[in-house]
Amino acid sequence: MAFIEGKKKEIRLLFVCLGNICRSPAAEGIMATVVDKYGLQDTIKVDSAGTSAWHEGELPDERMRSHGERRGYIFNSRARKFKRSDFDDFDYIIVMDRQNLSNVRSLATSKEQTDKVHMMTEFSRQYSLHDHIPDPYYGGASGFELVLDLLEDACEGLLQTIKKEYSL
């Protein structure tokens, strides 16, 4: 638990992509692993959503699940659509590309909500030349591997950012 102005607080992260079956469930699963590695599982909570409802209720894409499994991750969240109340329920809303960014921002109703929205690549460290997480859905295996490389790097960067911001 983090203490903000003397009060106990959970830090809640929501990862968002288009379908919520490839990039954002992978980000959720990788971040959960990083959070565990630092022993922060009681403080930092993770979830994911899509800007579309196309795959509502589905498990992550089979290709993303098997590429993840080869690196030791289990991606088993169920797809859901991003909703306005997510702005109240999460501290960081982290999107994968510019289309997600504009879709999510268009639902914000205050500066406070807009300020919660970040691009995942803001947190990249080694892969700092990439300005978005590319959609792997219509591509081949190398696209899924690249997504995992970028997400592993950015999740570590995100964890460091949160540690600093909340003095964890």
Structure tokens at 104: 């999510």
80 is catalytic: no
Shortest distance (Å) from residue 65 CB to ligand 4NP: 12
Shortest distance (Å) from residue 76 CB to ligand 4NP: 15
Spatial neighbors of 101 by CB under 8 A, at least 6 apart, are 95, 117, 119
Q: Exactly one of 86, 135, 153, 155 is catalytic; name it.
A: 135
Mark 105-124 with x for binding to ligand 4NP (rule: CB under 6 A) and - for no binding.
--------------------
**Residue 54 found at the interface with ligand 4NP (CB under 6 A):** yes
**Residue 22 found at the interface with ligand 4NP (CB under 6 A):** yes
Q: Give me the residues that bind ligand 4NP (CB under 6 A), please.
A: 17-23, 54, 135, 137
